[in-house]
């Protein structure tokens, strides 16, 4: 007569997902088909994200909405100031702005003025931190 452990090994364990071999470090494990043994690792290269291409999940180049590469500009304001002036020289007024304080917490600007080659951020209280400008 089998004990509960043997029953588990014989009936339940084969239903559990597993990988036949270890995957590369910094990879993503995805299911490739039906069944418990249909797992595989997907290795991403620098600048790639996980995406569907030709019906299969794989590393694809990170792109923006129109199929072009994402154009982002990080900016660091090391000294506390009530006005941050960011010169980006992109000749583009279509900007998404994210602001983070020195503590890493996101915050909102009191006023933002966007020109073709600069973004001016005005705050009620002086702050240091960083901004990320994403051009669309």
| Residue 76 and residue 37 share a domain | no
73 burial level (CB within 10 Å; 0-12, 13-18, 19+): middle
Q: Is the predicted pLDDT of residue 20 greater than 80, yes or no?
A: no
Number of folded domains that form the chain: 2
Q: What is the pTM of this model?
A: 0.51
What is the tens place of the pLDDT at every residue in 91-116?
Answer: 999 999 999 999 999 999 999 999 99
What is the token pair recorded at 126?
């002086």
Residue span of the structural domain in which 33 resides? 4-61
Asked if residue 30 is part of any domain, the answer here is yes
Alpha helices in the chain, H assignment, sequence order: 4-7
| Residue 10 and residue 48 share a domain | yes
Distance CA 134, CA 136 (A): 6
What is the token pair recorded at 115?
């020109």
pLDDT value, residue 29: 80
Asked if residue 50 is part of any domain, the answer here is yes
Distance CA 18, CA 35 (A): 10
Asked if residue 66 is part of any domain, the answer here is no
Asked if residue 130 is part of any domain, the answer here is yes
pLDDT value, residue 45: 82
| Residue 123 and residue 79 share a domain | yes
Distance CA 136, CA 72 (A): 9
| Residue 124 and residue 99 share a domain | yes
What is the tens place of the pLDDT at every residue in 23-41?
Answer: 777 788 887 777 666 777 8
Asked if residue 18 is part of any domain, the answer here is yes
């Amino acid at each position: 007569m089998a004990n509960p452990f043997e029953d588990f090994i014989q009936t339940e364990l084969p239903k559990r997902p597993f990988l036949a071999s270890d995957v590369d470090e910094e990879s993503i494990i995805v299911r490739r088909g039906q069944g418990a043994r249909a797992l595989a690792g997907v290795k991403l290269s620098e600048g790639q994200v996980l995406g569907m291409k030709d019906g299969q999940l794989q590393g694809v180049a990170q792109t923006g909405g129109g199929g072009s590469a994402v154009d982002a500009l990080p900016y660091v304001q090391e000294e506390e100031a009530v006005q941050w002036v960011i010169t980006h020289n992109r000749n583009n007024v279509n900007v998404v702005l994210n602001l983070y304080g020195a503590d890493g917490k996101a915050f909102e600007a009191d006023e933002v003025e966007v020109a073709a080659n600069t973004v001016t951020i005005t705050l009620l209280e002086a702050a240091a931190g960083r901004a990320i400008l994403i051009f669309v």
